[in-house]
Structure 1
């Protein structure tokens, strides 16, 4: 029996272009990200701008020859860049999940639940309604209006915990009850947001029938139950085995393997791979055996190189020239208004129902309104699944950028009016050591943001 011919390796020119793409995008992302932080803006805004500059918004119309050479519109070439970006986002989501502190949620209890619930339900409902009201030209061919509307609703209801955590860190508010309440509500938002994204993504992949809707909901529930009952002891055993080495390398390799296998499992179930990565990260966070110091090399690689590269590739898909068309510009303004009103208003109402004063409610609204990283990931998912076209993708990413830029100044303005003793009047648990001015130094969600500084 003749041997099968070997699979051809990547061509010399394709490899050259790929290496230059990665180097060029990463350099621009790092430079523009640092520039953004100098102006006290989230670095993700600069990193997204790197892709925008070399994409169809600027480089393509100005230098079409160079743009075509560097970013040839061929699936085989662009898929190489996409693969690196997908690896980066899966590890980013996994590391973020591993850094979450669910003790915050337990400490803030009912207040966090009210803020998070109102901040999820109102924008979700408004986003779905907006999706049905947008003209049919914004719905890609092959996507049902219902799936499109549901996806837009999910995009409107997510929050970006990293952006606001960095702002709280800069403002020295992490030790205050109001800061910890924002973080705890953000944790709940993240968990529910990834769950909803996985459900809607399954509907977009398989179709929209009663059976698909049922399985789209039951599969993520099954994944969570499996993770809690079987996955947790397996993850704990793997991390304990890796932790026997004094070197960080076994722990880093083990975490990467666990995250990727979990992502592959949910992808095989027609759920989103990032859902599996996030669930795995949560299992790692709750294992109780991980030494955070040994995760530092992976965190550094992801947050310093892979994440900026992912955001730069996300910016490549934005086409700001589309906003020159009145219909697209009008839709962008409408979606942004709905996103801000829904998320800001929902969190504000939840805070007021919890008997917080208006300035504390304003601070919570500003924090929860920030979309940042999470919305960019949602938008990239929608584009990959064909739920969003270039115009709607550009609009959703714009919402992520604008709301992230809005959060810091509004939060600073609100906190300037919050009394230093406000933490004792929040109607929450008795003051903890953190509320009394001692920063929480435990392995919580803030660790990622201290190192990332922006995400």
Structure 2
């Protein structure tokens, strides 16, 4: 059954991704939708209605799916860490200020709204979970942006060389880095549960682990890769890197954090390796994007349940989270852009792009569900929130471009390397 399941997942994600592109959406919107459709509420009911239920994606038949999804998540987070290190064109002081202002206000406002709404919703959505852990986590979930998805949208709209795109991508990277730091702090606090002795012991473990990561990277992995490059033995690079990533993921998982955090740290530490992004893109990225990533989407969809949206109260909470997430992120980013001197249309485009969620949202939600920071009802609500808001991004940006598609093409605040 493993091969049939994998074939169905890959075909469904490809088909829905293609349909999304035909409808003017980003491909990831279709891929996330495919994962939800393959879940028990849609695919399971379709099987039952046909009287041919084979339980293709029932719980007892998807044990392998969790492991493959985790593998996809590990390498996806490593890839995110590697991409964070890519240098963008140099910006002027005003351009850097714009990115910081957009990131700060685009993070603080939705985070505050998320925490506030979660504190009120806790009794209904997650009564058996830690109240403040749930609230802080929802704040992070509403505050993050999806840099990979945003990059795809920018490319699909041919905005790569615009001031707005460069400033927004910089701001999104800053937002995600801060978001991951906050998420790490939340996981740390939930792990020690307020016990000072446990906190000191766990902090000591983390310190030893991070020092070990650094030593392993600097004195073993990077020298090995450089020697392989010097000897033109490129085939030896990826086995070492993949083993290194899996080791880092295992250590953080063993410490009680999450395997994704170790993979992210591994990616951040690879910035010292010249041309590594080129090796990764040529040898691994295609397999990750077309095989492992669809499995991650499918597993995320299988864990969602339309039954969670069956009650009127849960639908109301979905609406509340949608409004707070959109208004908080759009409003905060818009204010940050205006404060930094961008025009109204430019600022509105920044706000729309910063509302891109998709992949990063699913990653964070998967971590929260696995670490028991959120309930399945809250998980389902936040997955649909991410899907709906991401689906609005491309049409909204297109709408904003209609009055004058060249209004934001000024590069007064942006100096590319070619000008040096």
Residue 165 of structure 1 corresponds to 151
Q: Relative to 1, partners in 2 of residues 1:260 and 1:418: Cα closer, same or farther, differing over 3 Å? A: farther
**1:103 matches 2:90:** no
Alignment of 1:226-265 (within 5 A): 231-232=217-218, 234-244=220-230, 246=232, 248-265=234-251
Alignment of 1:35-434 (within 5 A): 35-64=19-48, 67=53, 69-74=55-60, 77-104=61-88, 107=91, 108-139=95-126, 141=128, 143-209=129-195, 231-232=217-218, 234-244=220-230, 246=232, 248-290=234-276, 292-293=278-279, 295-417=281-403, 420=406, 422-424=408-410, 428-429=413-414, 431-432=415-416
Between the aligned partners of 1:24 and 1:195, the Cα distance in structure 2 is 36
Q: Relative to 1, partners in 2 of residues 1:348 and 1:206: Cα closer, same or farther, differing over 3 Å? A: same
Between the aligned partners of 1:201 and 1:300, the Cα distance in structure 2 is 31
Q: Relative to 1, partners in 2 of residues 1:344 and 1:52: Cα closer, same or farther, differing over 3 Å? A: same
CA drift at 1:312? 1.2
CA drift at 1:86? 0.4
CA drift at 1:271? 2.1
CA drift at 1:233? 5.2
Between the aligned partners of 1:211 and 1:111, the Cα distance in structure 2 is 42
CA drift at 1:226? 6.6
CA drift at 1:322? 2.8
Between the aligned partners of 2:5 and 2:258, the Cα distance in structure 1 is 26
Between the aligned partners of 2:135 and 2:112, the Cα distance in structure 1 is 10
Between the aligned partners of 1:147 and 1:179, the Cα distance in structure 2 is 34
CA drift at 1:305? 0.8
CA drift at 1:398? 0.9
Alignment root-mean-square deviation, CA: 2.9
Q: Please identify, of 230-239 and 267-276, the stretch whose mean Cα deviation from structure 2 is larger.
A: 230-239
Contact map agreement 1:232 1:287 (CA 8 A) in 2: no
Unaligned ranges ≥5, structure 1: 1-16, 437-455
Between the aligned partners of 2:335 and 2:160, the Cα distance in structure 1 is 23
Q: Relative to 1, partners in 2 of residues 1:97 and 1:353: Cα closer, same or farther, differing over 3 Å? A: same
Aligned length: 415
Between the aligned partners of 2:335 and 2:199, the Cα distance in structure 1 is 30
CA drift at 1:270? 2.1
Of residues 5, 8, 11, the one that matches 1:27 is 11
CA drift at 1:178? 1.4
Contact map agreement 2:213 2:248 (CA 8 A) in 1: no
CA drift at 1:255? 2.2
CA drift at 1:144? 1.1
CA drift at 1:238? 3.2
Structure-2-length-normalised TM-score: 0.89
CA drift at 1:360? 1.1
Between the aligned partners of 1:322 and 1:26, the Cα distance in structure 2 is 26
Q: Relative to 1, partners in 2 of residues 1:245 and 1:400: Cα closer, same or farther, differing over 3 Å? A: farther
Residue 5 of structure 1 corresponds to none
Between the aligned partners of 1:245 and 1:294, the Cα distance in structure 2 is 19
